[in-house]
Amino acid sequence: ECEVHTVAADLATREGRTRVIEALRQQGPVDYLVNNAGFSTLGGFADLDIDAQQAMVDVHITATMALTRAAVPFMRERGGGAIINVSSLASFGPVPMAAVYCASKGFLNLFSESLARELAGDGIRVQSLCPGYTRSEFHDREEMSAFDRDAIPAQEWAEAADVVRASLDALENGPVVVVPG
C-alpha cells in the first residue's frame, strides 16, 4: 500500500518551496522523495532572460536541497528511505543553447553522490536519475518551441514508465548515478 500526497506549488519561489516543506512536515513521514520538478530553456545564455535562468537554478538546485533537507529527518527517524533526484543525460557534458540546464543538472549528480555517502549509515538511499530524451510534456513549453522532436531518431526516445522502472530497479543495489537505457 502506498499513500501519495500532492501539493501544487511553484518551486522557483521561496513561498512555493515553503508550502511544500510545510506539507512534508504536516503529512510526513516521508519514505520516498522524488525531486522531479524541472524545465529547460533553449537559446544562448547571453540571449535568454536571466530571470528564467535563475528560476531554473531555483527549481533544479534550491528546491532539491530544501526538500531533501526537510525529508531527511523523517527518513532518519524511520530508519531509512530513498531520495531520487531527477538529473539528465545532459549533465555529463556541455550542450550549447542549454548551459544553465546542463550545469544545474550536473550539480544534482555531485550532490546526490555526496549525500549518498553521508546518509548511507542511516539507511537512506540516494539516486541521481539521468534519463535522455523521454516522452513527456517536458518539450511542450513555449521556451522549448524551437526544439524539433522529429530531429531525434525514434529509438533515442524512452517511455516514462521504462525510466521509472530502471530507476526503481537500480535503487536497491545500483550506482548512485543511474543512466536508464
Q: What pLDDT score does 64 carry?
A: 98
Mean pLDDT by 10 residues, the chain (181 residues): 83 96 88 89 92 95 97 94 95 92 96 97 96 62 61 68 86 91 75
Q: What pLDDT score does 38 carry?
A: 85
Q: Are 158 and 56 in contact (CB under 8 A)?
A: no
Rg of the chain on CA atoms, in Å: 16
Distance of CA 47 to the CA centre of its chain: 25
**pLDDT (tens digit, 9 = 90+) per residue, 91-131?**
999 989 999 999 999 999 999 999 999 999 999 999 999 98
Active-site annotation holds for 101: yes
Q: Are 45 and 97 in contact (CB under 8 A)?
A: no
User: How far is the C-alpha of 141 from the C-alpha of 96, rounded, in Å?
Assistant: 19
Q: What pLDDT score does 112 carry?
A: 98
Contacts of residue 31, Cβ cutoff 8 Å, sequence gap at least 6 = 75, 78, 81, 82
C-alpha cell at 88: 539528465
Q: What pLDDT score does 153 carry?
A: 65
* 8-state DSSP, 151: G
Q: What pLDDT score does 14 carry?
A: 96
Q: Are 91 and 108 in contact (CB under 8 A)?
A: yes
Q: Are 116 and 126 in contact (CB under 8 A)?
A: yes
Q: What pLDDT score does 181 carry?
A: 75
Catalytic residue among 101, 107, 111, 133: 101
| CB atoms near residue 150 (< 10 Å) | 6
pTM for this model (two decimals): 0.86
Q: What pLDDT score does 150 carry?
A: 63
Q: What pLDDT score does 62 carry?
A: 97
